[in-house]
Amino acid sequence: MDNAFGIVNQHLVNRAFMVGDQPTMADFSLCGYMFYPLEESGYDVAVSYPHIHAWLQRLRQLPGWASPYDMLPGERILPKW
């Protein structure tokens, strides 16, 4: 995971989105894996991967965006670790 996050973080150094200045299917395909909260993933993305964090913030600003957990039906079950 660290290697993959590092590659994406470095890729976003000079890009607003994965492919240029506008979001594409590449952004939406990848971002679903990136919104896991710290208590579930163990990754503090904001601290460890600042370019990923900034990208996620840009995605959150898109019209119609909703948190993945807000879109899922049913009750959220927190991890037990």
**Tens digit of pLDDT for each residue in 50-72?**
999 999 999 999 999 988 878 87
Taking the alpha carbons at both ends of the chain, their separation in whole angstroms is 19
Q: Specify the pLDDT at position 26.
A: 95
Contact 69, 76 (CB under 8 A): yes
User: How confident is the model at residue 81, as a pLDDT?
Assistant: 65
Q: What's the predicted TM-score (pTM) here?
A: 0.85
Distance CA 55, CA 13 (A): 10
Each residue's pLDDT tens digit, 3-24: 999 999 999 999 999 998 999 9
Contact assessment for residue 16 and residue 58, using Cβ atoms and an 8 Å cutoff: yes
Residue entry with tokens 């290697």: 3
Q: In this predicted model, what pLDDT tens digit does every residue of 20-51 receive, in sequence order?
A: 899 999 999 999 888 888 888 888 999 999 99
